[in-house]
Amino acid sequence: MTLTPKNNFKNKWIEYIHNLQDRICAALEAEDGAAQFIEDKWERAEGGGGKTRVIANGNVFEKGGVNTSIVFGEVSDTMRKQLNIEGHSWFACGLSLVIHPLNPFVPTTHANWRYFELYDAEQNVIDCWFGGGADLTPYYLFEEDAQHFHGTLKKAIAPFGAELHPKYKAWCDKYFANTHRNNEMRGIGGVFYDHLKPTRDFAVERLFEFQQANGNCFVEAYLHIVHKRKQTEYTAEHKHWQEIRRGRYVEFNLIHDRGTIFGLKTNGRTESILMSLPPTVRFEYDYQPKPNSPEAKLLDACQNPRDWA
* Catalytic residue chosen out of the listed positions 88, 100, 110, 256: 110
> How long is the chain?
309
The predicted structure's pLDDT at residue 78: 76
| Assigned domain for 43 exists | yes
Handedness of CA 107, 291, 176, 155 (dihedral sign): negative
| Assigned domain for 308 exists | no
* Domain residue limits at 71: 5-303
The predicted structure's pLDDT at residue 7: 56
The predicted structure's pLDDT at residue 89: 92
Give how many domains the chain has, as a whole number. 1
Half-sphere exposure of 284 (CA within 13 A, CB side): 12
Q: Is 274 exposed, middle or buried (0-12, 13-18, 19+ CB in 10 A)?
A: middle
Residue 264 sits in a domain whose CATH number is 3.40.1500.10
pTM of the model: 0.92
pLDDT (tens place) for every residue of the chain, 309 residues total? 333 334 568 899 999 999 999 999 999 999 999 999 999 999 988 899 999 999 999 999 999 999 999 999 998 887 787 777 888 999 999 999 999 999 999 999 999 999 999 999 998 989 999 999 999 999 999 999 999 999 999 999 999 999 999 999 999 999 999 999 999 999 999 999 999 999 876 888 999 999 999 999 999 999 999 999 999 999 999 999 999 999 999 999 999 988 788 778 777 788 888 888 999 999 999 999 999 999 999 999 999 999 999
Active site residue 224: no
| Assigned domain for 309 exists | no
| Assigned domain for 29 exists | yes
